[in-house]
Structures are given as C-alpha cells and as structure tokens.
C-alpha cells in the first residue's frame, strides 16, 4: 500500500461511522439553568426529524450572556431580557422560547396545598422581615378558614444569582414602592431578612426542614417535588392557585409586540392570570461571521421546530408554551434581524 | 551535566510556582481594580452589597468579617478536640491503636468539602436548630451582656454557628495531625525525667510537651485557619448567605468565598459586580497569605531550634 492510499484511508475512516447521519449537525448553547430540562428534552426529540443535536451548557444567564458576547457558542440563554442598549452594543437579537413561573411554598403543619392565601402586601412584609409570626392578625384576616400556627416566619431565598430571583424580585418591586426603593430587583440582591440557600433544591430543603419557613421556587421544581404551594391575590383582585390555566392566561394576556420581545408578564391585570411568570430568552448574533452562519441557521431551525412540535413536551415539564401569534412574530424577527456577511437573511422558512 | 540539568529543572519548577502565584494575585488585582478605583478604601469598611442594576454599590465588610468570624470560631471549636486527639494518640492510646486511628483522622481530610456541606445541611443544621438553638438560644438570651449572642430572629438553622461547626470538623485532621507529629518529636528523655519526678500525664503534657512544642502547635493551628478561611462549598451550604453582620451565633451571614461562589456565575464580564468579586478574591488571597506565611514562619523557627 503506498503512501497516498494510506492517507486517503486515514481521512476516510473517521467519516465512516457518520455516513448514516450525513447531515447531523451540532449547535452549541450556553446560559440559563432554568430552561435546561426543556432544551435537553427538545434536543432529544429533534434529533431524528431535524438532524440537529443541541449541546446546551447550563452555566447561568450571566455566563450565557458572556459567552454569546464572546461568540464562543451559537446562542446564549438568559432568564432576564437584555435592554435595547445592551443588545445593540453586543449586536445580539433576543427572542423568548417559553415562559416559566415562580410559586411560593410554605411549611405550615396542618395547612393543605394551595390553602394558604397571600396578598402582595403581605409577601413584601414577610420578605422585609416585618411579619414575625404566622398568627399575625393580617394573615389570620386573610385565612379565616384555616388554622394558622404560632410559628416564627422564616423567609428564605436563592442566594446564588438566578433568573428565579430576578422574576420574583421584579414582582415585589412592581407591587411595592418600598421594595423597589429598598432591596430592588435583580438576579442577586441584598435581602433584608431571612436565609439564603443555593438553588431550588437548597431553598426547598430549608422549607421542608423548617416549620414556618416560606420561600419562592420555580413551579416545575415545586410540582416534581410535591412542594406545598400557596394562593396569591393577583392584580385583578382574585386569589389564584399556581396551576397551568393561570400560567397560560398570563402568556395569552401578555403583549408580545414590544421591542426585543421583552414582554412583561409580571402582575398582569387579567383576573385569571398567575402574577409571577416570565419568559426565558435566547440570544442570537445579528451578524454571524461566515463560519458561524450554519450554526445560527440551525439554531433558528431548532427553535422553529420546537415552536411547532414542542408545546406538549413543554407542558409536560411544567413550562408554558408561547401563544402561536408570538411564534410568528419571532420568525419574522429572525428573517429581518439576522444577516450573514453578505447582508442576506440567514433565516428562511423551511419548505414544509 | 546530569546534575546541572536536574538542578535547573528543580529551580524551574520552583520558579514556575512562584510565577503562577504571582500571576494569580496580579490577575485578581487587575480584575478588582475597577472596584477599588470606584469605592477606594470604603470597599473594606462598607457593609452595603447592592448588585441591583443601575445603583451598584459594593462593600466587602460583611464578607470579610464573616470569613474571619467563622474561621476563628471554627478554630475555637477544633483546637480543644484536636489537642485531645493528639494527647490520646501520643500518650494514652495503646500502641496497636495509634496507627489505625491516626490514619482514620487523616482520612477525614480526604472527604470532599461538598460532602461536608450536604451533611451539614441535611443533618447538622436541623440538629442545631432543634437541639441547640431552640432550647439553649431561648434560655441563654436572657443572660445579661452576652445574651445578645444567642438571641436571633432567624429560625431556619443555617447560621454562622452551623458553618463554624462544619469548618471545625473539616480542619480538625490538619490540626490534630500536626499536633501529634510535633508531640512525638519531644525527646523521650525530657518526658521520662518529668515522670521520674512523679509528674502525672497531664502535668507532663502541660509542663513539658506543650512548652516544648508551643510554636509548632500554633503553626499547625494557623494551617487549619488558612484552610478554614478559603473553604467554599461546605460553608456556602450552611452559613445562610445573608449580607448582614451576624450579631448572634444563630444569625446567617456570608463569607468571601461563598459570595464569590454564589454570585460569580451570574455576574456580567467587565461589570462592577464581577470586579468587586475579584476584589474580594484578592483580599481573601492577602488574608490567607498572611496567615500561611506566619504559620510557615512559626513552624520553621521550631525546626531550627
């Protein structure tokens, strides 16, 4: 065997096992931890029909923004939307993939799931450290039909920077001037009272271990782990239990035509809506260089597929799919905003 | 020729470590520079930590105090136990037990810190909350002057006390092993003379062994302190992560290492928050360096003497 044929064999061999998946490509994404289970499940489901595999690293929204800014991944993912200025500076476009919701969970012996009623004012006071005992007159007044124990109120929160904290504190800032001008809203804030724990599991652990504890967690986590949740009075004045119809009502009531899809689903006036929901976002370069164009195109193909076929998966994992009108707006934005180096749109609707 | 190559390889390895350390400290300093510029010396004394966008204000005082307080408390808990272990191993234990027990103590150092953190959160924290904070906290908070140390409105159990306990267990093997080693270095003739004069074991220990090994013992304790200062995972799980100075044993607070672990992943590159975290890292490096350098110094002077 001469040298040339050896070389040819050497280059051909690694390609052999892949011959059956000639078009199988991998896209890479990094960012928010909250949508990770969904993106992974979508990725499994899309592998066959779409020949696209997603490699998603859930390193946190901040990390996702940093990585897509450095263009080391095909897309970034962030729970909080970026501002127009931030997007322009980084030459990124953003679109929501699904919505998530945040619920309150409390450990009150003898109080059933979704029996406890809370108002925005009381929640703010609890997390401000202004409610000392669960048999506080304000709480008793709200909950005449259940027996509240004489336990200390122990608020707990996510101490690691997280989109969940951003959503919850944005809600608190929305319903209370004192909170807005005090602790404020962000992925990590300086909490005036209570204990911090790491991740949803840390907060849930404190809630389970401490009679009298109350904290906020992602709904998906609360459902899977059978946490005891509470009702909440929404802007429409009704007490709402954190259940799928209430989440879908929030998604439907939101205005998706706002710039950068930074739709506000927090504390909507719709009387059927759960007040603490928020979209989670994908960040895509608006000017992918030639070698990144396929990655960008496949990212959009992937999410286009997920929008058309992934709603059931999302619902099973307790995520809230966007209304289909929002999907159409997103596709239009892809076509308009993401351009290859020659200025042609990267996204073209697949021939269905 | 071979000797020369070997000499320079060793020298190169040594220089490489120095360069690496220098590189780390320079990187931390450059990363923290924007925060130092913005807040100046105020960064050391301000207790305000406000990462909310648009009004960022950072001060490291809570984390610095939390780091020092939890480490010092851990030393206070660990040293008597470590002394007991070392005393037992060198003076009381039957010879066949010394080796296996010494190994067991040292194995404690090999447990990953996340295991201590999980154990602390799932086992120690509920135990402290139910069996120490509730009965003792209420009773002792009535005491004049020191009552405030036990009085806390925080009932979730994650506290500086729990963190110090976990830290104490983690640094115990380091201190105990150092103490055992230096106790064994005491020349037998000194101890035998003391026994010959009719001294009890306790008198020999406090009158001969401790004075002879005092400086090395302090060096070992400093090594444990160095380890406690930088411990991250285990502390993060049990300290309660609140940006408030703990006025009571049962209050949550935070440490430099756990603030960095918690907030670094979500901080934006180049932002003031990330820069402040770098600045905290730089300060932790300085504190640990001072502690370790003084422990080296103390241990060295003993070996020479």
Tens digit of pLDDT for each residue in B95-136? 899 889 888 888 888 899 999 999 999 999 989 888 888 888
Looking at residue A352, its pLDDT comes to: 52
Looking at residue A63, its pLDDT comes to: 87
The DSSP secondary-structure symbol of A160 reads S
Q: Which residue matches tokens 């959503």?
A: A167
Query: Consecutive 10-residue runs of chain A (352 residues): their mean pLDDT?
Result: 49 46 79 90 92 90 91 94 92 95 95 95 95 94 92 93 92 96 92 92 90 93 92 95 94 92 92 95 94 93 94 92 93 93 85 56
Looking at residue B136, its pLDDT comes to: 81
Residue of A nearest to B51 (CA): A189
Q: Which residue matches tokens 């608020």?
A: A155
Whether residue A186 and residue B52 make contact (CB cut-off 8 A), yes or no, is yes
Q: Which of A61, A129, A209 sits opposite B157 (nearest CB)?
A: A209
Cα separation, A167 vs A80, whole angstroms: 8
Whether residue B236 and residue A198 make contact (CB cut-off 8 A), yes or no, is yes
Query: How many residues are there in chain A?
Result: 352
Cα separation, A32 vs B300, whole angstroms: 49
Burial letters B252-270, b for 16+ CB under 10 A, else e: bbbbbbbbbbbbbbbbbee
Tens digit of pLDDT for each residue in B156-199? 889 999 999 999 999 999 999 999 999 988 999 998 999 999 98
Query: How many residues are there in chain B?
Result: 305
B181 touches chain A (CB under 8 A): no
Average pLDDT, chain B: 90
For residue B295, give every residue at least 6 positions away whose Cβ sits within 8 Å of its Cβ, in sequence order, or none: B218, B219, B220, B221, B222, B223, B225, B226
Q: Which of B218, B221, B193, B219 minimizes the C-alpha distance to B207?
A: B193
Looking at residue A252, its pLDDT comes to: 92
Q: Which of A66, A156, A160 sits opposite B268 (nearest CB)?
A: A66
Q: Which of A100, A101, A31, A47 minimizes the C-alpha distance to A284?
A: A31
Task: Give chain A's end-to-end CA distance (angstroms, integer).
Answer: 49
Cβ atoms A111, A148 nearer than 8 A: yes
Residues 48-77 (A) with a CB less than 8 A from some CB of B: 59-63, 65-66, 69-70
| pTM greater than 0.90 (yes/no) | no
Cα separation, A155 vs A106, whole angstroms: 9
Summarize the confidence of residues B30-34 as an average pLDDT.
94
Cβ atoms B283, B62 nearer than 8 A: no
Whether residue B267 and residue A161 make contact (CB cut-off 8 A), yes or no, is yes
For residue B71, give every residue at least 6 positions away whose Cβ sits within 8 Å of its Cβ, in sequence order, or none: B167, B225, B228, B229
How many other C-beta atoms are found inside a 10 Å radius of the C-beta of residue A265?
28
């Amino acid at each position: 065997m001469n040298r040339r044929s050896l070389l040819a064999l050497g280059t051909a061999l690694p390609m052999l096992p892949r011959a059956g998946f000639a078009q199988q490509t991998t896209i890479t994404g990094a960012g928010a931890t909250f949508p990770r289970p969904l993106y992974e499940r979508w990725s499994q489901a899309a592998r066959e029909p779409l020949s696209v595999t997603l490699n998603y690293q859930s390193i946190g929204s901040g990390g996702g923004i940093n990585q897509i800014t450095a263009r080391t991944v095909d897309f970034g993912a962030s729970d909080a939307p970026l501002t127009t200025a931030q997007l322009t500076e980084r030459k990124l476009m953003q679109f929501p993939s699904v919505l998530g919701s945040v619920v309150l969970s409390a450990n009150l012996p003898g109080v059933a799931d979704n029996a406890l009623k809370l108002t925005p004012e009381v929640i703010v006071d609890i997390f401000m450290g202004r409610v000392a005992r669960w048999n506080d007159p304000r709480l008793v007044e709200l909950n005449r039909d259940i027996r509240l124990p004489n336990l200390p109120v122990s608020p707990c929160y996510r101490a690691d920077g997280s989109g969940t904290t951003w959503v919850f504190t944005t809600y608190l800032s929305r319903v209370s001037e004192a909170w807005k001008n005090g602790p404020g809203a962000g992925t990590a804030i300086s909490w005036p009272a209570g204990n911090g724990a790491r991740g949803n599991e840390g907060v849930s652990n404190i809630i389970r271990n401490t009679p009298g504890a109350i904290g906020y967690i992602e709904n998906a986590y609360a459902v899977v782990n059978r946490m005891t949740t509470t009702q909440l009075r929404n802007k429409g004045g009704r007490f709402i239990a954190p259940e799928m119809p209430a989440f879908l009502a929030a998604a439907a009531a939101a205005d998706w035509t706002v710039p950068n899809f930074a739709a506000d689903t927090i504390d909507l006036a719709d009387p059927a809506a759960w007040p603490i929901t928020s979209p989670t976002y994908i960040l895509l370069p608006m000017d992918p260089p030639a070698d990144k164009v396929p990655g960008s195109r496949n990212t959009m193909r992937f999410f286009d597929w997920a929008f058309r076929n992934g709603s059931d998966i999302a619902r099973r994992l307790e995520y809230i799919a966007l209304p289909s009108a929002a999907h159409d707006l997103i596709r239009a934005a892809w076509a308009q905003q993401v351009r290859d180096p020659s200025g042609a749109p990267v996204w073209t609707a697949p021939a269905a | 020729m071979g000797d020369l190559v070997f000499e320079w390889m060793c020298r190169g390895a040594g220089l490489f470590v120095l360069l690496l350390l220098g590189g780390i400290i320079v990187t931390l300093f450059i990363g923290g520079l924007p925060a130092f510029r913005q807040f100046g010396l105020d960064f050391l004394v301000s207790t305000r930590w406000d990462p909310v966008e648009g009004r960022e204000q950072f001060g490291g005082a809570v984390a610095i105090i939390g780091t020092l307080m939890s480490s010092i408390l851990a030393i206070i808990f660990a040293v008597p136990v470590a002394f007991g272990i070392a005393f037992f191993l060198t003076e009381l234990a039957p010879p066949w037990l010394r080796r296996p027990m010494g190994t067991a103590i040292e194995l404690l150092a090999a447990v990953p810190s996340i295991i201590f953190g999980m154990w602390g959160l799932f086992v120690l924290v509920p135990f402290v909350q139910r069996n120490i904070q509730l009965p003792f906290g209420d009773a002792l908070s009535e005491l004049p002057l020191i009552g405030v140390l036990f009085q806390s409105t925080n009932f979730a159990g994650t506290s500086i006390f729990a963190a110090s306990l976990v830290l104490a267990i983690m640094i115990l093997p380091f201190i105990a092993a150092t103490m055992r080693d230096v106790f064994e270095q005491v020349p037998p003739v000194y101890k035998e003379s003391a026994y010959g004069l009719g001294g009890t074991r306790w008198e020999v220990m406090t009158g001969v062994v401790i004075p002879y090994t005092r400086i090395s013992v302090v060096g070992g304790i400093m090594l444990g302190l160095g380890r406690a200062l930088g411990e991250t995972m285990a502390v993060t799980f049990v300290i309660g992560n609140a940006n408030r100075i703990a006025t009571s044993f049962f209050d949550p607070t935070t440490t430099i290492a756990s603030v960095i672990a918690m907030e670094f992943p979500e901080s934006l590159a180049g932002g003031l928050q990330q820069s402040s975290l770098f600045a905290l890292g730089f300060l932790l490096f300085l504190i640990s360096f001072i502690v370790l350098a003084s422990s080296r110094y103390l241990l060295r002077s003993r070996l020479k003497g």
